[in-house]
Amino acid sequence: MQPSLLTNLSVDSTSDSILNAIAPQGAASESVPFSNLIKNAVRSEQKLEDQASTAVEGLINGSGVDVHQAMIATQKANLSFELALSVRNKAVAAYQQVMQMQF
């Protein structure tokens, strides 16, 4: 029997922090306001963007930042931004669908 694709995937600590920012542990048992989820996700995205900016500035200034570290930080920030953008697009599409409903 061939293992499923999901069993082969691994999640790094950055993904864990993003997921925890969006849905903290124990979220299933307690009610978390949607606005808090969005605020935490935006903060997490901003933190990754700041880390990428700092890494690139360190690379340009020659303050000991490795090229690989800067590239990884920028890719993490890029993926985080793309995730936020796709979530926003899905939310806008859902809102537009609701507004087109006739009661």
Q: What is the pLDDT of residues 4-38, one digit of tens each?
A: 333 333 444 555 555 555 555 554 557 888 889 88
Taking each helix axis from N to C end, the angle separating 13-22 and 67-100, rounded to the nearest 10 degrees, works out to: 30
Pick from 21-25, 60-64, 74-78 the range whose average pLDDT is largest.
Answer: 74-78
Number of folded domains that form the chain: 1
Which structure tokens are listed for 48?
A: 């990754």
Residue-level pLDDT at 45: 94
- Look at residue 68 in the predicted model and tell me its pLDDT: 94
Domain that holds residue 82: 13-100
Specify if 4 maps to a domain: no
pTM of the shown model: 0.63
The Cα–Cα gap between 95 and 103 comes to 15
> Would you say residue 21 lies in a domain?
yes
Task: Using a pLDDT cut of 90, give the percent of the chain over it.
Answer: 56
Residue 6, domain member (yes or no):
no
Within-domain flag for 35? yes
Q: Is residue 7 part of a domain?
A: no
Residue 33 within any structural domain of the chain: yes
Query: Please, which pLDDT band fits residue 1 given cuts at 50, 70 and 90?
Result: very low
User: Within a domain: residue 66?
Assistant: yes
Phi first, then psi: give them for residue 3, nearest 5 degrees.
Answer: -70, 150
Q: If pLDDT is split at 50, 70 and 90, which confidence band does 72 have? A: very high
Would residue 2 count as lying in a domain? no
